[in-house]
Amino acid sequence: MRILVVGTGGVGSAVAAVAQKRDFFEQMTLADLDPARPEALVARLDDPRFAAAQVDASNEASIAALATDADVILNAADPRFNPPIFAAAFRTRCTYLDMAMTLSELHPEEPYSKPGVMLGDLQFAEQERWKEAGLLALVGIGVEPGLSDVFARYAADHLFSEIDEVGVRDGADLVIEGYDFAPTFSIWTTIEECLNPPLIWERERGFFTTEPFSEPEVFDFPEGIGPLECVNVEHEEVVLVPREVECKRVTFKYGLGDEFIDVLKTLHKLGLDSTKPVSVRGVDVAPRDVVAAALPDPATLGDRMRGKTCAGTVVNGTGKDGKPRRTYLYHVSDNETTMREYGSQAVVLQTALNPVVALELLANGTWSGAGVLGPEAFDAVPFLDLLAAYGEAHGQLELD
């Protein structure tokens, strides 16, 4: 398997660090707009299977030209670049993977009750085209979405006879020393998903939206993280899971914390979340890009971080024995461990693990398919078994 990775930020670099420990691929080309980033990464890896290249992720032709010898394109760029990367994969007949789907657009009249263009709509519109071509686009194969969807599929196949709700719950106790405010993941993406109207799916109602940070609940996260208030956030699982998993409701809630929510609300009030360029002394610049540039790169914060992050899926319903059941399937990533073993901070490493596992399953033929599919469309057991073989076994808790 010959893989082109578009984007060598935190997650793209962590993908390379994880893949280096495996032998399922022949070559991995790491590409970025700034050629110095992949060149430094390849030098650090010191492995002949890795190569560096320059690519403009906003330009389909640029990506396609680089992918002529590739079997797979792994999109590790911001989701705003999904359309050209997705199109380049189809053009070059490459298998496509991403970790976040095409962006949503607000409903023009009722944004806090009705969805407009939903996450991934632009990609799912290409479903038949990809299927007829015999090509696979495996979308949303990070940790959330990604592993969270695998958990939902596993629960449906092996733990439950009937599911009432699939609820993704994410929380962490990570602390970053030396900064008053420093996000552990891309602030551009975080602003997008947290300030957009959260999406909820119900079988009887379909898709609908709510106000940002709605329906707060306290969830007690495992392995010492403890109770955190979680709120509704826009996320791909709500779109993906109902496509393959029989259930009555799907939600996504994130333990953001009061301080983080207050910062996001302030950015919104000031218009600093906007992606529309404004003129500053004759230079057009998007306010959100300024915010991202002013904050530290999350990929560089590992040495200052301590604590754990937890990603998981709560499933409520009726167990295989006919009794009520509420189960939390989860994965915890400890920053001390990820820095020691991979040189990557916990949040980006936890995200990067899953596309590499998926690539290995595709390479050995365990997973296969055609069309635009999410992780919940595939057998969960081989994925979870291989994740454990990577030294990253998941956990399972029965909740009251």
For CA atoms 10, 24, 140, 370, the dihedral sign is positive
pLDDT band at 192 (very low <50, low <70, confident <90, very high): confident
| 283-285 vs 371-373, strand pairing mode | unpaired
**91 or 187, which is more confident:** 91
Determine the pLDDT at residue 295.
Answer: 87
Identify the three-state secondary structure at position 3: strand
Determine the pLDDT at residue 296.
Answer: 84
pLDDT in tens, 248-273: 999 999 998 888 889 989 999 999 99
Determine the pLDDT at residue 298.
Answer: 82
Do the beta carbons of residue 252 and residue 235 sit within 8 Å? yes
CATH of span 2-98: 3.40.50.720
pLDDT band at 185 (very low <50, low <70, confident <90, very high): confident
pLDDT in tens, 299-322: 788 888 999 999 999 999 999 999
Class of domain 147-346+393-398 (CATH, top level): alpha beta
In this prediction, residues 87-98 reach a mean pLDDT of 98
Determine the pLDDT at residue 223.
Answer: 96
pLDDT band at 191 (very low <50, low <70, confident <90, very high): confident
In this prediction, residues 197-203 reach a mean pLDDT of 97
pLDDT in tens, 351-362: 999 999 999 999
Determine the pLDDT at residue 59.
Answer: 97
For residue 105, give the amino acid letter: E
Q: pTM here?
A: 0.94
Determine the pLDDT at residue 297.
Answer: 82
What is the enclosing helix (H) or strand (E) of 326? Answer: strand 324-334
Provide φ and ψ at 64, rounded to 5°. -60, -40
pLDDT in tens, 321-364: 999 999 999 999 999 999 999 999 999 999 999 999 999 999 99
pLDDT in tens, 160-184: 999 999 999 999 999 988 888 888 7
Q: Per-residue pLDDT for 189 more than 90?
A: no
CA distance 144 to 346: 14
Determine the pLDDT at residue 26.
Answer: 98
What is the enclosing helix (H) or strand (E) of 72? Answer: strand 72-75
- Cα first-last separation, the chain: 45
Q: Where are the domains of the chain?
A: 2-98, 147-346+393-398
CB atoms within 10 A of CB 226: 12
